[in-house]
């Protein structure tokens, strides 16, 4: 679909208290999607359009959460088509240095010149179809400047009031939006989610997950801690993992040994609750290098064979997509960090619209990178792609089903 159709599909049902506001939202989303990352003055077609765009972003009656809700509903509807979904989670900081908005924002651990908004995003990805389905959850908050560097304050804060509660909060929101479909969702999280209360909550709700372990915990299977115990497990074979370029790190391929075992995490001495029965999957690169790849993964998914372990590793490998998404949102695509709006509320409205445009950017990029042999029927029904072909190419249908790459371009 083109950007006009996408904007209407994504935001056309937004309840902003006045249908004229929804119409303006759809028009603005289309305009921003046509030229992502550029200021209003250069992408609007007339002074009236530019003024309308700024008026919408500055409108105190337009609620950013209502904009997002419309997009989440579309993602939830798309999710119903898939048998298995990965909920890829990550947190990022949206930073600004211009003085007009500094006092409304919080610290982001990037020096005194920067303030910002923290955002925790959850993307749904269908691994069987290799399809990025959409954004299903995004929470944003600011840190109190007065708490910067005060670790003892965070230690004394109840779990429900800590920033780390974001993982559980995201699961609560996912469950509310997806309902029974939550049974088909596996949350995929990095080491920051290795929080006993969070793991305990997920198990109590029968939620599925793959979480990269951050600490070698006590287990019931051995007097050794988890990582030492895992080092003694018999290798189930090897796998190659592509490591993407990031910062000063070069892209490379790592060869890792795979181990797996059922494990039961003991309750930490300073926590309440029960032991947690999970499965452990480890992959370690045998290299004398501080940058050697070493993943300790905890999962609810039964792992009883090398094939099962490889599936868990593949699920975690897809987590890079949410990092790519944040990059497309902040700098490389919609470039929201370069926006020079004059209040936090205005920023919230723009970043919310841009959050869904960034998904579209990553969807298109990901689809273009897929092999030509992947059929578009992974994402479109036979009727849908045929209608699209007739509209875009010719009334004569092809002998073979077009590729997914074709469907997204």
Domain boundaries, the chain: 376-408
* Distance from the first to the final alpha carbon of the chain: 9
Predicted pLDDT at 378: 63
> What confidence tens digit (pLDDT) does each residue in 112-159 have?
778 889 999 999 999 999 999 999 999 999 988 766 666 655 567 899
Separation CA 334–CA 341 (nearest Å)? 15
Report yes or no: 213 and 195 within 8 Å, Cβ to Cβ: no
Sign of CA dihedral 97, 99, 102, 107: positive
Predicted pLDDT at 380: 67
**What residues have CB less than 8 Å from 358, skipping those under 6 apart?**
36, 325, 328, 329, 333, 334
Half-sphere exposure at residue 51, Cβ-oriented, CA atoms within 13 angstroms: 3
> Which H/E stretch holds residue 125?
strand 115-126
In 80-146, where does DSSP find H-type helix?
99-102
Tell me which residue of 296, 274, 141 sits closest to 201, measured CA to CA.
Answer: 274
pTM: 0.88
Predicted pLDDT at 150: 63
Backbone Cα Rg of the chain: 23
Q: Which ranges of the chain have pLDDT less than 70? A: 111, 146-155, 247, 370-373, 378-381, 384, 405, 407-409
Report yes or no: 347 and 101 within 8 Å, Cβ to Cβ: yes
Predicted pLDDT at 398: 86
> What confidence tens digit (pLDDT) does each residue in 263-278 have?
999 999 888 889 999 9
> Which H/E stretch holds residue 299?
strand 294-299
């Amino acid at each position: 679909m083109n950007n006009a159709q996408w904007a209407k599909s994504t935001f056309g049902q937004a309840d902003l208290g006045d249908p004229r506001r929804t119409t303006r939202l759809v028009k603005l989303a289309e305009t921003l999607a046509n030229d992502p990352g550029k200021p209003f003055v250069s992408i609007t077609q007339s002074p009236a359009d530019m003024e309308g765009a700024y008026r919408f972003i500055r409108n105190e009656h337009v609620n950013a959460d209502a904009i997002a809700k419309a997009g989440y509903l579309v993602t939830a509807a798309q999710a119903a088509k898939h048998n298995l979904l990965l909920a890829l989670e990550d947190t990022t900081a949206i930073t600004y240095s211009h003085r007009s908005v500094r006092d409304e924002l919080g610290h982001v651990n990037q020096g005194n010149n920067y303030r910002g908004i923290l955002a925790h995003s959850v993307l749904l990805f269908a691994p069987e179809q290799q399809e990025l389905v959409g954004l299903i959850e995004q929470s944003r908050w600011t840190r109190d400047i007065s708490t910067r560097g005060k670790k003892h304050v965070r230690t004394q804060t109840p779990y429900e009031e800590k920033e780390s509660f974001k993982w559980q909060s995201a699961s609560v929101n996912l469950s509310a939006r997806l309902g029974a479909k939550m049974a088909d969702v596996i949350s995929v999280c990095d080491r920051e989610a290795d929080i006993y209360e969070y793991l305990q909550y997920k198990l109590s709700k029968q939620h599925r997950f793959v979480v990269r372990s951050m600490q070698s915990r006590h287990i019931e299977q051995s007097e050794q801690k988890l990582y030492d115990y895992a080092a003694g497990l018999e290798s189930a074979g090897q796998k190659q993992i592509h490591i993407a370029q990031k910062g000063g790190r070069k892209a490379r391929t790592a060869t890792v040994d795979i181990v797996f075992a059922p494990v039961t995490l003991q309750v930490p001495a300073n926590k309440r609750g029960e032991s947690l029965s999970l499965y452990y999957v480890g992959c370690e690169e045998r290299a004398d290098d501080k940058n050697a790849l070493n993943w300790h993964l905890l999962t609810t998914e039964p792992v009883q064979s090398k094939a099962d372990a490889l599936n868990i590793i593949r699920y975690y490998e897809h987590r890079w997509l949410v990092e790519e998404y944040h990059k497309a949102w902040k700098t490389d695509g919609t470039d929201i960090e370069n926006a020079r709006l004059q209040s936090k509320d205005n920023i919230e409205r723009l970043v919310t619209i841009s959050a869904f445009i960034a998904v579209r950017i990553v969807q298109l990029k990901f689809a273009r990178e897929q092999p030509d042999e992947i059929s578009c029927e992974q994402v479109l029904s036979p009727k849908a792609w045929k209608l699209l072909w007739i509209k875009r190419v010719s009334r004569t249908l092809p002998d073979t089903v077009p590729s997914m790459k074709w469907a997204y371009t």
